[in-house]
Structure 1
Amino acid sequence: MNQLFVSSGPIATALFAAAIDTGRLGARPGRRILLVSDETAGAELAPPLPERADHAALYDRFDEVVSLNELLAPMHPQDWRPALEEQPMLERLLRRHWGLGDEPVEVIVETLETAPAQTLAEVFHDAPVTVCCGTLEVYGPVRALLPRGVGSRVERLLHLDLVPGLPPRLLSDYGVAPQIVAQDAFAKAFEEVKAGAETLLAGRLPAGADRAALIVGQCLTDLGPTGEQEERIHLEMLRGLVARGNRTVAFVPAPDGQTALAAALAAEAGRLGAELVILDEPVPAEVWCALLRPEVAVGVFPPALVRVSHLLEVPVMTLGTVRVLERLNPYDNAARIPATVVDATFPRLTDEGDAIPPPIARHEIKSRLVPLLAAVTYCMQPGRYPEMRAATAEYVDALPPGPALRRYFRMQRLITLGLAQPPPPAPAEPVGTLQRVADVTRRLKGRLR
């Protein structure tokens, strides 16, 4: 059987490589083809992702590497959503283009919720599907029902054990059992990415950034906060790091670029008498952490922050998760579970430089985080997890009114689901009072005439 891997970058390919190296994807099939999709907004302005040294370090596991950006140009890979009647024709064309003939094919993806991965799973209409998830989304539900015929073909969910003791829930409603990809295998593949990045950055590593504090940028405007709020959150990170004594701070912009934010951070660093080093080379934040070994890394809840903590054991802190959770729409947004996990289990940095311990300690994962995420999951997808209603009702009833309840649950959502009572109506004004107000208003209007 041939295998098609759909990768958005070096970290995803490192997880594929680890799954291959540990035999999670079976014996070597007919051919392994890596389909690389640079999904950043300005992909055409950056060096081609398949040609970068940090990515190419992993190519020995594959027989061929294909750029989906080049294949689909001028269409962006995330916009590739062909009509249903076009898909049989596309399968025939792609099979011919990639020399697959009529041989069976397996599709291996990071996620099935967005193009181009979902599109390829649809186009190869009878291909078994494997999901390799390296983010916290593995602990939450699929946001929307998968296209007809795709969910029933998912055979495996491979994932990193990012929160030991926390059971994955992704694709559980499709009957897919999760399997862990060994951390040491992923670490080995990541070291290859790091070595490739060192070649890419030869002679260009920023001076003075070694052991600096690191801000991992994250684009928040698609999640609810405005651009101004996104900037404010990152500026608070900088102030907090400087307040705790970090005079040199490195900033890794989000993959989609944060040029204006970088300028605002540089101006604020100057005002605070600190040095800001902007790490804008096209290298994953995890690689920057491995190369620079920062004293601490801080972010809202970007996937890189979690992997840095898990893989490199760099101390991490979060800031801004509460504000994102308050504004995150719709409630069943796929980012809700990652934001909740980070908010509940990571220390919080304040803009005064204080570190606030997390609400849930590592030894409380099973007793406190598991029931919290189960309740949030039910509120996100009540129709797909009806068996969780009773436990969710019990959990919500036991929560005292206040910040904890408001942070993770929306009162209107709880009322709609019948898990909370609506507030009593406001008392009506006495009829006599309303009548007197109306009479006075009428007299005033008469005088004005």
Structure 2
Amino acid sequence: MIQIFFAATQYAAATVTAAVRAGLFGPREGHRRLLVVSNTSAIPELTTPLDRMAGFEELRPEFDAVHSWNETIAPHHPVGWSPREQDLTVWERALRLAWDLGDGPVEIACESLQANPSRAAAEIFAESTIHVYADGLMSYGPTRDRLPGGIACRVARLLHLDLLPGLRPLLLSEYDVEAVPIPVETFLRTLSGIGAGAPPAPGRYTAVLLGQYLSALDLISEREEDELHARILRGAVAAGHTSVLFKPHPSAPVHQSRSLERAAAELGAELTVLGSPVLAETLFERDRPELVVGCFSTALVTAASFYGIPVARVGTELLLERITPYENSNRVPLTLIDAALPDLERDTEVVGKPPALTGELVAERLAPLIRAVGYCMQARAHPALRPDAEAWLTGHQAGPARYFKRRRLTSLRLPGGAPVRAEALRRHPAVRRIVRTLRAVRS
């Protein structure tokens, strides 16, 4: 059996490697395993490929061969390219020849099937079993778009990190896909091995600031993102951290760091910008910072859950207001961080203490909220969640309205929505169709 693993980031590669080491893909004997790496940054030529990053040698022994998706489909960009339907057979033959796959069955393990290169790979290997793995908080949200039947029926499992024990992933659940957690211990050992080969961070620091490059997602402007990073820095300094390290997003432009350096100079803080591609978790394990701050990065939860480091958030309320459409896959990670972690600028009395991301918090606060948000995001895919949404909204009429849009609640006829006027109801297309049908039957 040939197994092909697709990974676009070092964190993703570590996640799927941990799944392999945990035995979730069967024994080593009888399997030929290939790792296909892709660089999905805006300008791949200016960034370090995954298989050339420090620490990759820790992952390499699990695979019989490593191939570059960028080189395979050059000059196309991995995010923007997918094969034409009439060319799928040709591409499969070409890949089988180039990667020495033979004519036997193939299994693939990939990230989100909504986007390339995972979608392209699933279409090319049209008869393969598909294992989807999710390395972040998006696994707790619903599937963004409906999958074609020819792909959905081949998805065997969703492998995910158990970042919030007790919270069941919604991703792919409408297709009855089994959600399988990747053992945390195996994942942490894999990260530790990667970190052993990473270069040390320059300088000393007590707080880590996480950048996400949110302007690239069209959530906020570049100017607003610079101000968000400045707020994070000011909050960290106000909390007593005058020596901080900023870990920018790998795809972020250089001016982002320069803007933060100017803000640090005004505050009299010592700022170190991490220039090398190092996992945030490597910093957590090796340097044990006293505080980690960001907007809604998954690394905030790994710092708190896996390493017991105090964390705080900044800017989530602004993002909850701006994020569109309501079905945006970032909504659930954003909601989870906002609901579970302290606000650096407001909750000063608890900043500096490790948040208790316990089963009680998850069961009583997070799980009901996420089921309600998930239903509002994809009501047609998850009709069984409607009672949960009604219960949460009924019990939180005076609670945080930022998680829901009144227009969405109105359209779904949920508590908190605007009353439906008779005239508007008469004009509703669905009502008009029903009336026409009844009139046709009577006549």
TM value normalised by structure 1 = 0.88
More divergent stretch after superposition (361-370 vs 124-133): 361-370
Q: Aligned pair 1:131/2:125, yes or no? A: no
Residue by residue over 1:13-64, the C-alpha shift from the partner in whole angstroms, topping out at 9 and shown as x without a partner, is 2212211111111123431000001112232112332122322321000000
**Letter in structure 2 aligned against 1:389:** R
Cα offset, 1:408, TM superposition: 0.5
Please give the per-residue CA displacement for 1:244-276, whole angstroms capped at 9, x wherever unaligned: 111111100012124222111111111111111
2:276 counterpart of 1:281? yes
Cα distance, 1:177 vs structure 2: 1.2
> Where does residue 22 of structure 1 map in the other structure?
22
Residues 121 and 129, structure 1, Cα contact 8 Å, conserved in 2: yes
Aligned counterpart, 2:339: 344
How far does residue 316 in structure 1 lie from its aligned partner after superposition? 1.2
Q: What's 2:379 paired with?
A: 382
1:423 Cα deviation after fit:
6.1
Identify the match of residue 288 of structure 2 among 293, 298, 305: 293
User: Partner letter of residue 27 of structure 2?
Assistant: A
Aligned residue identity for 1:93: A
Unaligned runs of 5+ in 2: 422-443
In the alignment, is residue 205 of structure 1 matched against residue 222 of structure 2?
no
Alignment partners' CA distance in 1, 2:370 and 2:412: 17
What does residue 44 of structure 1 align with? 45
Which position in structure 2 is the counterpart of 1:146?
147
CA 1:296/1:51 → structure 2, altered by over 3 Å: closer, same or farther? same
Deviations 1:86-139 (A, max 9, x none): 111111111111111111000101221210011101110010011121211111
| Structure 2 residue 384 is matched with structure 1 residue 367 | no
1:414-429 aligned at under 5 Å gives the runs: 414-419=409-414, 420-422=416-418
- For residues 17 and 357 of structure 2, the distance between their equivalents in structure 1, rounded to whole angstroms, comes to 32
CA distance in 2, matches of 1:390, 1:223: 33
1:225 pairs, out of 220, 227, 249, with 220
Give the 3-state SS of the residue equivalent to 1:250 in structure 2: strand
2:92 match:
91
Partner SS state of residue 53, structure 1: coil
May I ask how many residue pairs the two structures share in their alignment? 416
Name the CA distance, whole Å, in 2 between partners of 1:371 and 1:216: 28
Q: Which residue of 2 aligns with 1:247?
A: 242
Q: Is the 8 A contact 1:5 1:32 kept in 2?
A: yes
TM alignment of 1:139-178, pairs within 5 A:
139-178=140-179
Whether 1:215 aligns to 2:212 is: no
- Cα separation, 2, equivalents of 1:334 and 1:38: 21
Q: For 2:214, what is the secondary structure of its paired residue?
A: coil
Closer/same/farther in 2, CA of residues 265 and 26 from structure 1, 3 Å limit:
same
Q: CA RMSD in A?
A: 2.1
Distance between the aligned counterparts of 1:124 and 1:257, measured in 2? 33
CA distance in 2 between counterparts of 1:261 and 1:60 reads: 37
> Of 305, 320, 332, which residue of structure 2 is paired with 1:325?
320
Per-residue CA shift, 1:287-320, capped at 9, x if unaligned? 2333332111100011222223233222211111
Q: 1:47/1:139 Cα in 2 relative to 1: closer, same or farther (>3 Å)?
A: closer
SS, match of residue 296 in structure 2: coil
Q: Please give the alpha-carbon distance, in whole angstroms, between the structure 1 residues aligned to 2:237 and 2:163.
A: 29
Q: CA deviation at 1:9?
A: 2.2
Aligned mates of 1:273, 1:104 — CA distance in 2: 61
In 2, distance between residues paired with 1:411 and 1:401? 14
Task: Provide closer, same or farther for how the CA distance between residues 127 and 247 of structure 1 changes in structure 2, counting only shifts above 3 A.
Answer: same
Distance 1:48 1:36 in 2: 8
2-structure distance, mates of 1:21, 1:93: 30
Question: Following TM superposition, by how much is the alpha carbon of 1:85 offset from its aligned partner in structure 2, in angstroms?
Answer: 1.4
Q: 1:359 to 1:21 in 2, by over 3 A?
A: closer
Amino acid at match of 1:17: T
Separation in structure 2 between the aligned mates of residue 38 and residue 314 of structure 1, nearest angstrom: 30
Q: Which amino acid aligns with 2:44?
A: A
Report the residue type matching 2:224 in the other structure: Q
Between the aligned partners of 1:165 and 1:237, the Cα distance in structure 2 is 30
Distance 2:356 2:382 in 1: 25
Counterpart-to-counterpart distance in 1, 2:25 and 2:377: 31
Q: 1:358 to 1:325 in 2, by over 3 A?
A: farther
Counterparts of 2:391 and 2:46, CA distance in 1: 52
Letter in 1 for 2:364: S
Alignment of 1:413 with 2:414, yes or no, is no
Alignment partners' CA distance in 1, 2:45 and 2:10: 17
Using the aligned pairs only, state the percent identity: 38
Partners of 1:99 and 1:272 in 2: how far apart? 58
One-letter amino acid of the structure 1 residue matched with residue 274 of structure 2: L
Shift of 1:151: 1.0
Query: Structure 1: which 5+ runs fail to align?
Result: 426-449
Q: SS at the partner of 1:246?
A: coil
Offset of residue 331 of structure 1: 0.3
Tell me, yes or no, if the aligned pair for 1:269 and 1:276 is still in contact at 8 Å.
Answer: yes
Equivalent residues of 1:346, 1:358 under 8 A apart:
no
Deviations 1:344-402 (A, max 9, x none): 11121018966469999632311221111111000000111112223312321222245
